[in-house]
Amino acid sequence: MIGALQAGMLDSPYSLTELRVLFELAQTERMETGELRGLLDLDAGYLSRILARFESDGMVTRERSAADARKQLLRLTPAGADVFAGLDRRSGDEIGLLLAGLAEDDQQRLVASMAAIRTLLGGAEAREPYVIRAPRTGDLGWVVFRHGALYSAEYGWGTEFEQLVARIVGGLDLTRDAGWIAEVDGERAGCVFYVRQDDTTAKLRMLLVEPSARGLGIGRRLVEECLRHARAEGCKRITLWTRDNLVSARRIYQAAGFELESEEKGMENGVEVNEQVWSLDLSATS
């Protein structure tokens, strides 16, 4: 036994099922009660009791759907998002402790074994797990290429954006900065970088997840890795730059504890965009 299924998950007052409900609500801005019940295959009365407890704890709100008054929409409150973010970090820390004693080759074997289990039990639709690793030769060129191609296809951002990413990559000093590459089935699927500004401040830069790998939690995991490294480095404050139409990324940042610091209008390839700076006070969360 590895201690993953104790009564109070992650030393919290919540059960495994309650935390699964919390997890699903944290993945979306709002969710209809029936959709959540179907997703988790829960008894209606059981789910109602869980939601009542969450409401009592100030973590969830319920409201009637404007489109259909018979349906209830669920939303995490800021307090609920904070609870989830803390538990999510604790989960990552516990897994890190479990794996800390394993050599890299053994970690790879473990991941491969888990992939086999998911494939055998989940059938053809089972999705492969992912691996997070340090950058290797050739990865930086891929980072520039995929930022340029992906954001052009999805948002119409042009060559100037790709050039901006190229300048950021060209300015990396991997003796003091750090980066992580996500792989799914041996193929690059995402990235993020930690760029030091001075002894106590840094920037989180170039978070990207390939469309084919979205929904696996890779973006969240990459941000967690960056923040874990920042704390280990003694970083007290970390910032990031993004745009408000990158909704999925913004949810990851909010769940990790980042707060909007400033925003202003900008232009990208002739289209007006809303530039945002988010920050996280690590001295208050460590």
Q: Is the pLDDT of residue 3 over 60?
A: no
- Reference 47, options 26, 27, 62, 69; nearest CA is 62
Contacts of 242-246 with C-beta under 8 Å, sequence gap 24+, read 242/276, 242/278, 243/268, 243/273, 243/274, 243/275, 243/276, 244/273, 244/274, 244/276, 245/155, 245/273, 245/274
Over range 33-43, report the average pLDDT: 83
pLDDT digits (tens, 9 = 90+) for 222-254: 999 999 999 999 999 999 999 999 999 999 999
When pLDDT is cut at 50, 70 and 90, the band that residue 126 belongs to is very low
What domains lie within the chain, and their CATH numbers? 9-93 (1.10.10.10), 134-284 (3.40.630.30)
Quick one: pLDDT at residue 91? Answer: 78
pLDDT digits (tens, 9 = 90+) for 190-213: 999 999 999 999 999 999 999 988
pLDDT digits (tens, 9 = 90+) for 74-101: 888 999 888 888 888 887 777 778 778 8
